[in-house]
Amino acid sequence: MKNRILWALVALVGIVMLNCEPQKNVIEIVEGVQEHKERLRLSDNQLIVRIPINTPDDTISRLKTTVGIDTAEMCSCGDTRIQRWTIADTLNIEDAIRNLKRQGGSSGVEGDRDFIASMERIPDFKPFDRPISQVDGLVGRKESAEITIAVMDTGLDIGQYQDTSGSFSIELFPSGEYSGCYGSNLGSISGWNFVDNSPEIKDDHGHGTYVTKIITDELDKLMVKYQILPLKVFNGSGEGSYWDMICAMAYLKDIVKNGGVIPILNTSFGGYVASKDFQESSILKAMLKEMEESVLVVASAGNSGLDTDNGSDSHFLSSYTAPNLMGVGGHNGKDEAMAVEIDSLSNYGKISIDITVPFRGYATSALNLAGGTNSLSLAGTSYSAAYVSALTAVTYLNNGRPSALTLKSLVLGSAVTAPNLDGEIVNARAIIKP
């Protein structure tokens, strides 16, 4: 059962604590409403284009004229060869795509149609009231961490990591040392906000923060020294474009190329497109290929209870099958392999969903929810994927920091076979969460 991009609130339960302590709520947040699917909104006039190195300017100009391009823009940070082209109002985007493939193929120019994915806002989320750029000491040095995990999502609310003394318990990867962002002298920043084209990765939605918190809580339990690289591609309303996702992936690729070691990228989001129209994105496929040995992408399967390998709809990102992409579904949380089944809300697929972990019961604290300090019980494949990212980080450290492909093999090899998952998950794999 696979990932989709809708994360809807299903239950909100408050429990009043006894004694004279302040009221403390326990809130359950469940992603997904069965049979309700959030579809990708395909652009009517924009293409994402990737131009090979050393392509002559006059070749690019001729191609823009042939395709019918009105305006072009580059990623705000990362790879200048990736651009978003907007076609003229008088043109049909299908014609523009055909022109690009016909005229750009000989020069190696690739193009994909842009789209918008969206997610439900986390209810009552109250972000930290100071920009991350105003908080000193959060961006660490590369020698201070054992592992770095990149999280592509809605950003990060650092207030969730602040204790009562005002100290912060999180350290961020110094990506400013590895990416100049087109010559900008930004110093030791961490991550990038591709939505607003700035280094401010503050989360004003909530989803990215909770995904990150699941990862860091698991690593904190094991006393693993980590750093987080936030990649903000969704805005406060939960909307994110394929353009920003590709730019973020290119940014990550350039950091790795320049010496940054970031073996895991968590992508807890998604959306649906008709299977008959579903094609392997040429640009995404190329980006994954170029990071094949260095970065393992962990993708959530979605929360609509669908077989996204054998149905009317496919799922972005988890329906892609790449050697360094690992699709994660959610099971019922049973502690015996014979009793493990897919959760009723989790997507599945015997080709692209590589592994399952529990769908429900991811507990964390949230200091900045409206109404005071709260404890959260999170459910959904977004959080399942986050748990797998933490597990993958530990596997990486315990096995001599292997390549992405070896790392994926090791994680999958740690699973048990759950007979009830046969025909639903690749090799009926499940991890029993202790």
pLDDT digits (tens, 9 = 90+) for 278-332: 666 789 988 999 999 999 999 999 999 999 999 888 999 999 989 999 999 999 9
The answer, yes or no, to whether residue 355 has pLDDT greater than 90, is: yes
Instruction: Tell me which H or E stretch contains 398.
Output: helix 381-398
Number of H helices, E strands in the chain: 7, 19
- Coil, strand, or helix at residue 397? helix
Better-predicted residue by pLDDT, 12 or 370: 370
The residue that leads in pLDDT, 123 or 19, is 123
Least confident stretch, 51-60, 99-108, 237-246? 99-108
- Kindly tell me the sign of the dihedral angle through the C-alpha atoms of 216, 219, 223, 224: negative
pLDDT at position 13 is 27
Mean pLDDT of the chain: 86
Task: Supply the pLDDT for residue 226.
Answer: 96
Specify whether the CB–CB gap between 27 and 292 falls below 8 A.
Answer: no
- The CA distance from 122 to 195, in Å, is 18
* CA atoms in the 13 A half-sphere facing the CB of 387: 26
Instruction: Decide if 194 contacts 77 (C-beta within 8 A).
Output: yes
Average pLDDT over residues 191-199: 91
Comparing CA positions, the residue from 253, 269, 137, 166 lying closest to residue 210 is 269
Give the residue-averaged pLDDT of 80-104: 86
pLDDT on residue 365: 76
* Mean pLDDT, residues 389-405: 98
Chain center to CA of 382 = 9
Q: Name which of 86-90, 131-135, 406-410 the model is least confident about.
A: 131-135
Q: Does residue 155 carry a pLDDT above 90?
A: yes
Q: What are phi and psi of 59, to 5 degrees?
A: -65, -45
More confidently predicted of 62 and 241: 241
Per-residue pLDDT averaged across 182-193, rounded?
70
Phi, then psi, of 227 in degrees rounded to 5: -130, 150
pLDDT at 220 over 80: yes
Average pLDDT over residues 271-278: 81
Query: Is 80 exceeded by the pLDDT of residue 370?
Result: no
- Alpha helix locations (H) across 222-305? 242-257, 282-290
Confidence class of residue 367 from pLDDT cuts 50, 70 and 90? low
The two structure tokens encoding residue 79 = 């790879």
* Six token digits for residue 359: 């769908």
- Structure confidence at residue 4 (pLDDT): 33
Phi, psi (degrees; rounded to nearest 5) at 264: -135, 130
| Average pLDDT score over residue span 99-106 | 78
Q: Distance between CA atoms of 340 and 103, rounded to whole angstroms?
A: 52
Note the Cα 381 to chain centre separation in Å.
Answer: 12
Number of Cβ within a 10 Å radius of residue 427: 14
What is residue 31's predicted lDDT score, i.e. its pLDDT?
A: 79
Distance between CA 149 and CA 227 in Å, rounded? 7
- What is the C-alpha separation between 105 and 87, in angstroms, rounded? 18
Q: Are 326 and 30 in contact (CB under 8 A)?
A: no
Kindly tell me the burial class for residue 126, based on how many C-beta atoms sit within 10 Å of its own C-beta (0-12, 13-18, 19 or more). Answer: middle
